[in-house]
């Protein structure tokens, strides 16, 4: 069974299998192809069909758009939520009408990592997160419906709206990273970058017992969102902010720094804000190589934590954090578009001039 409560509210808009389905894929750099197939999707024996309610747009989607599809097809639109419309003969974890979020399955118990005792690094779940399993669909959640293995869905907790459910996936990415980092209670935490990932990370860090959270972000609009979330130490990057990190920590620096920008050129300067013996936690994913000072990292005995994707159980923890109010995702939702508007919003987000934080695609519009 899925490790989450099934919900009976709100009432699904429809639980009928659709006669056809529409979906978007990337067919060339900065080019999105729209498809419509006049056949209903059918679940595999161990699979389900989900009618998509919303799918969030993230930086990975933008990269897939600009690169011409250099990510697996099922990853282009991976932040989805919807309602189960059909289940395979062998499925017992969810039923028709269950609201679900996209996730990864529990540790499989049979891959090399699991057999070696490393179930938290299950190869099967990692492949699911990266859209490279043999049964991965040929498109993601920028679609009217999707057919996936039942391992890939988890029931939405009672009390979450559909819009909140659509932001569970990035909330889980950051939940996993903060959990993996293991920051100590009372830690001085610096979060570099206040996009959706940075703002979610800052909230998880606060929820995990940070004594102080300082946010660094060049965009005034994003800095204001951080302030609206209750963070009082929010600054633009620069020499004054660097000096403040040290002057306010008796010259030590941060206990933990979460690097959430993915800008390769910032890795060394981020590391230099961390105290000797502290932790640099990497969430942002650079698309180019990085040059860092090996002797600096070694001589200061930095602990460097890499984090990518999540485990099955992290989704339950992320949903609980949203439902409890410890993590506010509503403030991140700045717009909703229809499927036909996806190319335009991808171009806007790629421009670097968009005021949006998290845009949801509603294929019913």
Are 287 and 71 in contact by the 8 Å Cβ rule? The answer is no
Q: Which pair of tokens denotes residue 9?
A: 């509210």
Write out pLDDT tens, residues 293-315. Answer: 999 999 999 999 999 999 999 99
* Beta partners for residue 54, in sequence order: 81
Q: What is the pTM of this model?
A: 0.92
Q: Which residue has the tokens 């269950």?
A: 98
- Pairing type for strands 303-306 and 274-282 reads parallel
Strands 333-338 and 358-362 turn out to be parallel
Could you identify the residue written with the tokens 């930086």? 59
Structural contact between residues 234 and 226, judged by C-beta atoms closer than 8 angstroms: yes
Query: Which residue in the block uniquely carries the two structure tokens 């056809």?
Result: 20
- CATH (residue range 21-167+329-362): 3.90.180.10
Q: State the Cα–Cα distance between residues 105 and 126, nearest whole angstrom.
A: 9
The whole-angstrom separation of Cα 361 and Cα 353 is: 19
| Domain residue ranges of the chain, discontinuous segments joined by + | 21-167+329-362, 172-306
Residue 78 and residue 165 in contact, taking contact as beta carbons nearer than 8 Å: no
Q: Dihedral (C-alpha) 6, 51, 350, 201: value to the nearest 10 degrees?
A: 0
**What pLDDT does residue 19 have?**
56
Per-residue HEC secondary structure of 207-270 comes to HCCCCEEEEECCCHHHHHHHHHCCCCEEECCCHHHHHHHHHCCCCCCEEEEEECCCCHHHHHHH
In the chain, % helix, strand, coil (3-state, to 5) comes to 35, 25, 40
8 Å CB contact between 331 and 306? no
Residue 301 has, within 13 A of its CA and on its CB side, a CA count of 3
Q: Which residue ranges of the chain lie beneath pLDDT 50?
A: 1-18
- Integer Rg of the chain from CA: 21
Give dist(CA 263, CA 270) in Å, integer.
Answer: 10
Topology classification of domain 172-306: Rossmann fold (3.40.50)
Matching residue, tokens 């499925």: 91
pLDDT of residue 17: 46
């Amino acid at each position: 069974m899925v490790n989450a409560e099934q919900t009976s509210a709100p009432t699904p808009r429809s639980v009928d299998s659709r006669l056809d389905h529409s979906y978007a894929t990337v067919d060339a750099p900065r080019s999105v192809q729209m498809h419509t197939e006049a056949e209903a999707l059918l679940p595999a024996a161990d699979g389900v069909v989900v009618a998509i309610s919303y799918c969030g747009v993230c930086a990975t989607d933008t990269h897939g758009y600009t690169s011409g599809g250099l990510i697996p097809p099922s990853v282009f639109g991976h932040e989805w939520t919807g309602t189960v419309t059909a289940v395979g003969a062998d499925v017992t974890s969810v039923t028709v009408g269950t609201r679900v979020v996209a996730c990864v399955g529990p540790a499989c118990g049979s891959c090399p990592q699991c057999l070696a005792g490393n179930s938290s690094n299950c190869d099967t779940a990692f492949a699911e997160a990266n859209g490279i399993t043999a049964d991965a669909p040929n498109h993601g959640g920028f679609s009217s419906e999707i057919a996936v293995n039942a391992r890939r869905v988890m029931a939405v907790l009672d009390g979450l709206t559909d819009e909140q459910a659509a932001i569970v996936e990035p909330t889980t990415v950051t939940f996993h990273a903060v959990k993996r980092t293991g920051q100590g209670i009372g830690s001085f935490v610096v979060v570099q970058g206040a996009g959706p990932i940075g703002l979610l990370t800052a909230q998880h860090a606060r929820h995990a017992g940070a004594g102080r959270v300082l946010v660094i972000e060049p965009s005034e609009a994003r800095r204001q969102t951080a302030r609206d979330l209750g963070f009082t130490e929010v600054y633009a990057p620069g020499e004054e902010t660097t000096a403040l990190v040290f002057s306010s920590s008796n010259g030590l620096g941060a206990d933990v720094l979460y690097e959430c920008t993915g800008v390769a050129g910032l890795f060394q300067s981020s590391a230099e804000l961390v105290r000797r013996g502290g932790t640099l936690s990497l969430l942002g994913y650079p698309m180019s190589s990085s040059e860092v000072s090996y002797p600096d990292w070694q001589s200061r005995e930095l602990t460097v934590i890499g984090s990518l994707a999540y485990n099955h159980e992290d989704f339950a923890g992320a949903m609980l954090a949203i439902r409890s109010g410890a993590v506010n995702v509503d403030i991140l939702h700045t717009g909703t578009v229809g499927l036909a508007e996806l190319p335009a919003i991808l171009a806007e987000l790629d421009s670097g001039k968009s005021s949006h934080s998290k845009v949801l695609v509603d294929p019913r519009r």
